[in-house]
Amino acid sequence: MDTDSVRPAVTELRLSAFKAHRGVSLPFGPLTLLSGDSGSGKSSVLQAYELLARLGSGDPLERAVGVVAGGASACVPAGARPDDQGRRGFRLGCTVDGPVGAVRLDLAVQAEPELRIVGERLTGCGETLLTTALTDPNRPAVQAAWHTAGATPVTRAPLPDDRLATSLLPLRVAGKTEGQRLVLAAAEQVVVALRSAFVCDPRPEAMRDRAERVAADDGRAAGDASGGGGAGRSAGARGGGRGGSPGRSGKSGGAGGPGGPSAARGRKGVRSGAEASGWGHDEERDEGRLRSSCENLSAVLERTSRECARRHAVLVAAVRDACSGPVDGVRAVPRQPDAATAADAATTGGTGDGAAPDGQGPSGPPALRTVLDRGALGEMPVEQLGDGELRFLALALVLLTGPGVLAMDPAGEIPSALQQMTVMADGMDRCMDRRQARELVSLAVRMADRGHVRLLGTVRDPSVADGLPGVQVLHLGV
């Protein structure tokens, strides 16, 4: 792939038959906002995009459709009748622009009675590059045919019916002929664009709950250190370290290291369809990478403030414009255990289950919390911000960072400087007033102009984008 030219990006989403959408084609620019009444299908558009993104990242179909409440059956358009064999399904696709030009991917998915991809088509450069078809319903495979343009114009082979065939082509195509190289370049372009997506839904309640749990852990750890009653159990729990997160039972000791039982559970457990992002990431391993719910916001803010002072200054300026009251800075400070929690833990001799955050014991580095510097008003922990302010802070941080800071699989095929990340934010202006929402969209415009970030979001009030350059608003249900 010629990485010096256009960065791969999804420029169109087609919902031929998906949930409430039929025959819908949505063009996407660098900054696209979806608006419409409740029930107009705004969230469904983001779900369809995420479903494709998960398939492009290598997820099996069953896991990918988990992004939709109700699973595969909920993706089938209402009123769709089964055929004579009782089969119902849905169809969707996308267009990806990049070095190869415009490449189209279209999928037909059977949701009932068995979940499988029954048809896939990849086209570009005036050629049909890949097709798949279900030829034997009794086999968990489809017959694939891809462009060769050599002595044999087409190569045929069976491929699994629960995976995106386009993502499997680099493993099957040798690249010996011009046709094969075109197929590989087109497939790589599509996969890179789909993988470069981060679904972000900041949850203020999760951020506050995380802060309370960390404070409670600090208090218990302080109680263990002073009372000693639970020191043995706490040390046992801490023995697992970050790789083993077994836990707090104190029974697993160091068994959860790399490749251990806990690590295996982590790899299998966190890749559920209910997870909005961080596909396949171990939560403790990725403590310094922002998760979809942004519950680990403080840890990531501490990291980004150290790594890039310039972007951190931009973040502080944006927060200053969005928050009520003065904001002179956003910084990490050592977290002090809550006095009441620490006193209670000391009185009871410790709970015995209290490993400090990230597996650090009382003698390790202190836990950190992020605070707003309000000048003469002192410092305020960020978890005390209002819901709108917390969501603004989290989304602004996402727009100012990249795959290396977010819990997502970066596309390793091309240098990070030449990648484009698509941020998907459902309810982007949720809990925010108009001033905050407009400031957030303005920040998105600035970052999109740099060419590394794209945004697809839903908003209640599309007027927040009025007069802002480069913002495309699509009104659904009109």
In the chain, where are the structural domains located? Answer: 9-196, 204-408
d(CA 369, CA 373): 12
State the DSSP code for 295: T
Please provide the CATH number assigned to the domain covering 9-196.
3.40.50
Note the residue count of the chain: 478
Q: What is the pLDDT of residue 302?
A: 85
Give CA–CA dist 423/401, Å, rounded. 11
Secondary structure element (H or E) that encloses residue 446, with its range: helix 434-449
204-227 helix and 231-238 helix, angle to the nearest 10 degrees: 130
Is residue 264 helix, strand or coil?
helix
Looking at residue 214, its pLDDT comes to 65
Any idea of the CA torsion for 208, 316, 430, 35, to the nearest 10 degrees?
A: -150
Q: What is the pLDDT, as a whole number, of residue 240?
A: 41
Q: Is the peptide bond before 410 cis (omega within 30 degrees of 0)?
A: no
Give the sign of the dihedral formed by CA 82, CA 83, CA 87, CA 89. Answer: negative
Output DSSP code: residue 406: B
The pLDDT, as a whole number, for residue 215 is: 62
Can you say whether the dihedral through the CA atoms of 385, 387, 391, 394 is positive or negative?
Answer: positive
pLDDT of residue 213: 73
> What is the Cα gyration radius of the chain?
25
Cβ atoms within 10 Å, residue 340: 9
pLDDT on residue 419 = 72
Give 3-state DSSP helix, strand, coil % of the chain, rounded to 5.
35, 25, 40
By DSSP bridging, strand 21-27 and strand 9-18 are antiparallel
Find all residues with CB under 8 Å of 348, minimum gap 6, and list them: 223, 227, 229
* pTM for the predicted model, two decimal places: 0.81
Beta-sheet pairing, 31-35 with 471-475: parallel
User: Residue 9's Cα: distance from chain center in Å?
Assistant: 16
Q: Which residues of the chain, if any, have pLDDT below 70?
A: 1-5, 214-287, 336-366, 410-418, 478
Helix (H, G, I), strand (E, B) or coil at 91: strand
What's the CA gap between 416 and 402, in Å, rounded?
Answer: 9
